[in-house]
Amino acid sequence: QKEVEQNSGPLSVPEGAIASLNCTYSDRGSQSFFWYRQYSGKSPELIMSIYSNGDKEDGRFTAQLNKASQYVSLLIRDSQPSDSATYLCAVNGGRDSSYKLIFGSGTRLLVRP
C-alpha cells in the first residue's frame, strides 16, 4: 500500500512567521510531487509542483524535495491569516502506479493575527 503521510495538525504560527509543512512518502519510484491548499468547503488549489531534488521557490512559498529521504516540505514565509487552510501533499507514483496521485490526509495550518 503506497502511502503519503502528513501531520494532521493544527500547526499554529503567528502572523509573519515561517510555517513549515512536512510530508513523507513510501514509494521510492515516485517522480512528481505537489502541494495543494484547501480552504474549508472549497476544492484543492495547486500551490507548488516539484520534480527534482532541491528547493523550488515561488513568491512566499518554497517546496523542498529529498528523494533519498522520501521527504517533501513546504515553507510559507511571512505567513498571513489568509494562509490558514489545510495543505495537502500529493505524490505521483509514476508508471508503476499508473500515474495516479496519492494524497496525504492534510495538515491544517492556523496563522494567528
Partner 1 sequence: DAEITQSPRHKITETGRQVTLACHQTWNHNNMFWYRQDLGHGLRLIHYSYGVQDTNKGEVSDGYSVSRSNTEDLPLTLESAASSQTSVYFCASSESLDNEQFFGPGTRLTVL
**Would you say 26 or 49 has its CB closer to partner 1?**
49
Q: Say how far apart CA 33 and CA 31 lie, in whole Å.
A: 7
3-state secondary structure of 28: coil
Indicate the residue among 100 and 112 with the shorter CB distance to partner 1.
Answer: 100
Indicate if the alpha-carbon torsion angle 30, 31, 35, 36 is positive or negative: negative
Binding-residue pattern over the window 90 to 109 for partner 1, x denoting contact by CB under 8 A: x-x-x---xxxx-xxxx---
What residue ranges bind partner 1 (CB under 8 A)? Answer: 31-32, 34, 36, 42-46, 49, 51, 88, 90, 92, 94, 98-101, 103-106
